[in-house]
Amino acid sequence: MAAAASLEGITDFPSSMQALIEAGEQGLAAARALVEAAPAQSLATAPKILAPLQRPIRLRDCCLFLEHMEVSAGKIAKAQAKAAGQPEPTPQGPDGTWLNEQFYKQVIYYNADHLHVFGPDDEIHWPVQPGWADYELEWACVVGTSGKDIQQDAARSHIFGFTIFNDWSARDLQFPFMEAKLGPGEAKDFANSFGPCIATLDEFEDPYNLQMTARINGEVWSSGSTGTMHHSWEDALVQFSRGKTLFAGEVIGSGTVLGGCGLELDKALRHGDVVELEIERIGVLRNRVLFSQGA
């Protein structure tokens, strides 16, 4: 793309998506000019679309959709009690929920794996023979402008755009870490999928009114809306920049929409399953799951 840009008289076109994000409006203007000037032609073979950011400088996965957390926390607690031969537990959170009150007061997150990143149509090879292989229907915000102590009314201007995020989960590995109260841990350290693009902020009239869908082998398993987030992207940007710098190119995951994973549905992925996550105005992120032993 850089060579093509040079042919069109644009000699300083960013050489990567990270560089494009850091270039700000000037970089986006150059990209738009290049697209408009490009001749219409058909390609002999379709290009391979990679993850928009193949190694994000930082990746956090948040709990912005709390309804999913409420359901999942209950299921995990009951499963742990059953395995230990203990009585079925009861909710301990506010208003009869399973969550600690801190989930409602602030954005809770964990630092996610930014090294094992996959894009559209990539195969996801499970690290071990799974007891419970799962997908998670999420979206992610990509930070566009670095900032420190970002104010609520200015937070949206720091967003570059949004992408679809599949936070693959090995549930059998997750439960012991959750029991130790140290997060999902090893259950997430093998694959995160992003794509098929980063839709820039100007593409959305209202980002909090988008349909979210997950299909497994063409069958709809999950359906929800971005409008059901308890915390907003702006809330996250304000909190994460408090007293420290939030950098351009950081990726922030939303957490899973209600009903957006097999854990909530008592379903598990099988070898060869094709998982499609679709979010309105962004596109479809498709991956095929392969188990090490083909079972």
Q: Report the DSSP pairing between strands 192-200 and 117-118.
A: parallel
Work out whether the CA dihedral 177, 182, 185, 188 comes out positive or negative. positive
Per residue in 159-206, pLDDT (tens digit) is 999 999 999 999 988 888 877 778 788 889 999 999 999 999 999 999
149 shares a domain with 253 = yes
Whether 74 is in a domain gets the answer: yes
The H or E element containing residue 176 is helix 171-179
- What's the rounded Cα separation, in Å, for the pair 254 and 237? 12
22 shares a domain with 120 = no
248 shares a domain with 119 = yes
Give 36's contacts (C-beta < 8 A, 6+ positions apart). Answer: none
27 shares a domain with 128 = no
Average pLDDT for residues 24-41, to the nearest whole number?
Answer: 84
Q: Supply the range of the domain harboring residue 32.
A: 2-37
- What's the rounded Cα separation, in Å, for the pair 123 and 273? 10
Please state the domain count of the chain: 2
- What's the rounded Cα separation, in Å, for the pair 74 and 63? 15
15 shares a domain with 99 = no
91 shares a domain with 31 = no
Q: Residue 100's domain is classified under what CATH number? A: 3.90.850.10
Average pLDDT for residues 210-218, to the nearest whole number?
Answer: 98
63 shares a domain with 13 = no
Whether 48 is in a domain gets the answer: no
Q: Kindly list the distances between the CA atom of residue 281 and the CA atoms of 161, 214, 231, 251, 256, in Å, as whole numbers in the listed order.
A: 11, 15, 21, 19, 18
Token code pair at residue 216: 């497994």
147 shares a domain with 28 = no
Residue positions counted in the chain: 295
Per residue in 236-258, pLDDT (tens digit) is 999 999 999 999 999 999 999 99
In this predicted structure, what is the pLDDT of residue 111? 96
117 shares a domain with 25 = no
- What's the rounded Cα separation, in Å, for the pair 226 and 129? 33
The percent of residues above 90 in pLDDT, for the chain, comes to 69
Distance from chain centroid for Cα 64: 12
Whether 209 is in a domain gets the answer: yes
Whether 112 is in a domain gets the answer: yes
Whether 187 is in a domain gets the answer: yes
109 shares a domain with 27 = no
- What's the rounded Cα separation, in Å, for the pair 171 and 77? 13
The answer to whether the CB of 242 falls within 8 A of the CB of 258 is no
155 shares a domain with 9 = no
Whether 295 is in a domain gets the answer: no
8 shares a domain with 64 = no
Stated pTM of the model = 0.92
Whether 215 is in a domain gets the answer: yes
Whether 45 is in a domain gets the answer: no
